Amino acid sequence: MCDNMGGGFGIRGGVYPEYALSLWASEVTGRPVKWIADRSESILSDDHARGGFVDAELALDEDGKFLALRTHTKVPIGAYYTTDRNVGCATSGLGGLAGVYGIPAVHAQVTGVLTNMMGNAQYRGGAKPEPVHVLEVMVDMAARQLGIDAVELRRRNTLPPDALPFKTSMGDHFDCGDFTGNYENCLAAAGYDDIDSRRADARARGKLLGIGTSNSITGVANTNFEHVEIRFDASGGVTLLSGAMDHGQGHGTTFKQVLSDRLGVDPGKVTYRYGDTDKVAHGVGTFNARVAVFVSAAIVEAADKIIDKGKRIAAHMLEAADSDIEFADGKFTVRSTWCAIQPSTMPGRSSTRCCSTVRFTAASSRAPGRS
């Protein structure tokens, strides 16, 4: 058990042998056992990050158009292989090697190397900064060797809006976006067109002024399913259950509001429960900027199931046709009449009254916001 800590990545994202040893010691002694590491011990026993070496090659044609990128990453996985975290920090973000440039061919090789240290893990950015850094450094190096302005080289290769939707050579899909517009806005905000005069002015004052740019994209919200349940009780209260743990992000505030907007219920009447394996059958977790996307979409789908089911029940109770039932402001009404009924007053046991369970998967969802 631990208090809110704000993230499920890096040091805190994996399972260490000391966890099992502490549990075993507690069972053997019959007493609470704590594992405490000071700073020096933490350096020796916690997962590290970004210790890899990358060899890269970028091919261009005579017009400066990118033809292919090849990389070979050697990543230290520690003295022994523990979990997929060790290699995942070098493989899960490889899609970023294609960037926003539409490179026709990308070949990425990753070699895990055993060392006498702790292994690697996904810290801030979770395997995304590394491929972006490699690609953008290669673009800058190519610009210098070819005598082309690095900004101009990026402009020549960035995918325009009319090229989307686009599938990259790494298999990622871009459904929308304005990569060229974003880049130009960034350059304008940085005053790039005036950089030469600003650099000369700085040199006259004995200063050095440099500038660098990148135009990158990374993927988030992987492991594409999440589980939620919505239950009404006779008092009008609503219980929202999710498998996504909250360790400081404020899930309750966000998801209550999503449910309130969809079903018209007072957020103050919503009880949010998470991570309770006695109550929730499935769940993935809070990491990689995924929870707001997947849990919110699952709530929308579960709420829509309640509305669809509730319309049929309300039609029967109010002696009306299904097509005449409308749902708004948290209640079902017969069109053009005052006859109305709320979900909490519909028949059924308190544990199953207007219950909706959804295991949301991005590939099959109809929920708004899916890409």
Report the CATH number at residue 229.
Answer: 3.30.365.10
Structural domain includes residue 60: yes
Say whether both 247 and 355 belong to one domain: yes
Question: 35-94: per-residue pLDDT in tens?
Answer: 888 989 888 888 887 778 899 999 999 999 999 999 999 888 888 776 666 677 777 778
- Is a pLDDT exceeding 70 seen at residue 359? no
**32 cis-preceded (ω within 30 degrees of 0):** no
Say whether both 36 and 112 belong to one domain: no
Structural domain includes residue 2: no
Say whether both 37 and 64 belong to one domain: no
Average pLDDT over residues 108-122: 85
For residue 155, which of 95, 194, 101, 99 has the smallest C-alpha distance? 101
Say whether both 40 and 20 belong to one domain: yes
Average pLDDT over residues 319-328: 79
Say whether both 244 and 358 belong to one domain: yes
Structural domain includes residue 64: yes
pLDDT of res. 320: 80
Structural domain includes residue 184: yes
Say whether both 124 and 77 belong to one domain: yes
Burial class (CB in 10 A: 0-12, 13-18, 19+), 210: exposed
Average pLDDT over residues 330-347: 73
Sequence-separated contacts (24+) of 171-178 with Cβ below 8 Å: 171/95, 172/95, 172/98, 172/219, 174/100, 174/217, 175/371, 176/371, 177/100, 177/217
| pTM for this entry | 0.73
Structural domain includes residue 165: yes
Structural domain includes residue 39: yes
pLDDT of res. 31: 96
- Is a pLDDT exceeding 60 seen at residue 370? no
Tally the domains of the chain: 3
The residue with greater pLDDT, 11 or 35, is 35
Say whether both 175 and 235 belong to one domain: no
Residues 281, 357: Cα–Cα separation, whole Å: 10
| Tokens at 316, concatenated | 């029967």
Strand partners for 167: 173
Say whether both 134 and 181 belong to one domain: yes
Q: Which H or E run includes 321?
A: none
The residue with greater pLDDT, 233 or 208, is 208
Structural domain range at position 328: 225-364
Strand partners for 212: none
Burial class (CB in 10 A: 0-12, 13-18, 19+), 170: middle
Say whether both 168 and 194 belong to one domain: yes
- Is a pLDDT exceeding 80 seen at residue 276? no
Say whether both 79 and 21 belong to one domain: no
